[in-house]
Structure 1
């Protein structure tokens, strides 16, 4: 196992009960299989389903393919995620726009020494 810090990936969809938890589990499985030092998590741009399990249909189709979503719980994207994760993967164009909106709201709270006035 590498002593390096793991690369951190966050999969994001709207409610964090269908696409992003599925992407999380599939990507985690692939990274584990390839012995990559990658941590994978997921979140939603909305807070529609806080702490809920993934949708039963997603769980059913995941199980058919050998993946288990049952231990996951929905959570909302938070400002800290922009600092904690190396890569944030939007599940579609609208999610990407929503992520940019959250980041733009948060960016006024961040300052960089390289910012030019």
Structure 2
């Protein structure tokens, strides 16, 4: 079976998308599904390119025992649409920018992370709110629902 390729995307790739990448990777590892997935994250902007995850993200993940992986912010490209099965944004603004980068979504690969939950909504950017606890709870909820969806969709 070919790996399921997931790209988490936010504005700068240092807060929400990296948090989602690390949380989802940890869930996949815990479920012994590591060999079935390729998971990464990217930004829609160039503002943070090359920077490591935000200290607020690192601190929150360490607090809850989720491994922080080596990462430097990268920008999403048009080619990512071909390279990934799922492109997961964090809010409506991310989705608009993702569509601007890729053009169209004919294969329906673009989602907001919390679209997979019972209450679809945006995940607030902790860069502005300063609240990494709320962001983590939303990311965790979204990743759990996304994994449940993938298990059903791909029979894993």
Q: Does the pair score TM above 0.5?
A: yes
**RMSD between aligned residues:** 1.6
2:26 maps to 1:29 = yes
Aligned residues: 103
By relative contact order (CA 8 Å, sep 6+), the higher-ranking structure is 1
CA shift in 2, pair 1:93/1:15, >3 Å: same
Name the counterpart of 1:76. Answer: 75
TM-score under structure 2 length normalisation: 0.62
Distance (Å, rounded) in 1 between the aligned partners of 2:74 and 2:67: 18
Q: CA deviation at 1:69?
A: 2.6
More helix as a share of residues:
2
Q: CA deviation at 1:35?
A: 2.2
**SS of equivalent residue, structure 1 residue 77:** coil
Q: Which structure has the larger Rg over C-alpha atoms? A: 1
Structure 1: which 5+ residue stretches go unaligned?
108-117
Please say if residues 17 and 49 of structure 1, whose CA atoms lie closer than 8 Å, have aligned partners that are also in contact: yes
TM-score under structure 1 length normalisation: 0.82
Per-residue Cα deviation, 1:62-101 (whole angstroms, up to 9, x for no partner)? 1101123351110000112111000000111110111011
Structure 2: which 5+ residue stretches go unaligned?
107-156
CA shift in 2, pair 1:93/1:27, >3 Å: same
Runs of 4+ in 1 over 4 A off after TM superposition: none
Distance (Å, rounded) in 2 between the aligned partners of 1:57 and 1:29: 18
